[in-house]
Amino acid sequence: MKLSTRARYGTRALLDLARHGGEKPVQLKDIAGRQNISLHYLEHIIAPLVGAGIIRSTRGVRGGLRLTRQPKDVKLIEVIQLLEGTTTPVDCISNPETCDRADLCVTRDVWCVMKKAIDTALESVTLQDLVEKQKRKETSVKQSV
């Protein structure tokens, strides 16, 4: 039940983008630098997010990445589903036909409850929430120094 680095790096990259994005596009190499993630790897991770239209990219000089929505309109559940493929702990939830016990299986019901718990948790968090929380953490650190 581990989250892949794709999901973790991708979320951090999006958060970084939300944090540093403004008028001008943010370059992937800057995100990679700030987040200390391999640029080449991040390129792959970002791809499904661009594909899904959460991010818009512009190539060429002064190009980069931009969020297509307000951070408050990007729920974590969507991000994780794109990066992780799904939040389903077992295949038989989304594809009951892969297991002939599916209809009688009570453990399947438990995994289903589990998935719902995960989804509910991720449903309630937006990029905006993360940005704000991060700002608060940063200022509190500055003050304590």
Partner DNA sequence: AACAAAGTTTACTATTTTAGTCAACAATGG
Partner DNA sequence: CCATTGTTGACTAAAATAGTAAACTTTGTT
Residues that bind DNA (CB under 7 A): 2, 4-6, 9, 25-29, 38, 40-41, 43-44, 46-47, 50-51, 57-65
Burial of 57 (0-12, 13-18, 19+ CB in 10 A): middle
* Among DNA, a copy of itself, none, residue 127 binds (CB under 5-8 Å by kind): none
The least distance separating DNA from the CB of residue 31, rounded to whole angstroms, comes to 8
Nearest to 77 by CA among 131, 51, 115: 115
Residue 59 is a binding residue for a copy of itself (CB under 8 A):
no
Taking the complex as a whole, the smallest distance from the CB of residue 135 to DNA amounts, in Å, to 24
Q: Answer with the entry of DNA, a copy of itself, none that 52 interacts with (C-beta below 5 to 8 A by kind).
A: none
d(CA 111, CA 108): 5
Note whether 75 binds a copy of itself by CB under 8 A: no
Burial 69-105 (b: 16+ CB within 10 A, else e): eebeebbbbbbbbbbeeebbebebbeeeeeeeeeeee
Shortest reach from residue 43's CB to a copy of itself, in Å: 20
Report, in Å, the least distance between residue 136 CB and DNA.
Answer: 28
Cβ closer to DNA: 59 or 142?
Answer: 59
Tokens of 40: 């080449």
* Residue partners of 58: CB distance under 8 A and separation at least 6: 25, 64, 66
Place of tokens 């990219």: 57
Give the residues lining the site for a copy of itself (CB under 8 A).
Answer: 1-3, 7-8, 11-12, 15, 76, 84, 86-91, 104, 106-107, 109-111, 113-114, 116-118, 120-122, 125, 130, 133-134, 137-138, 141
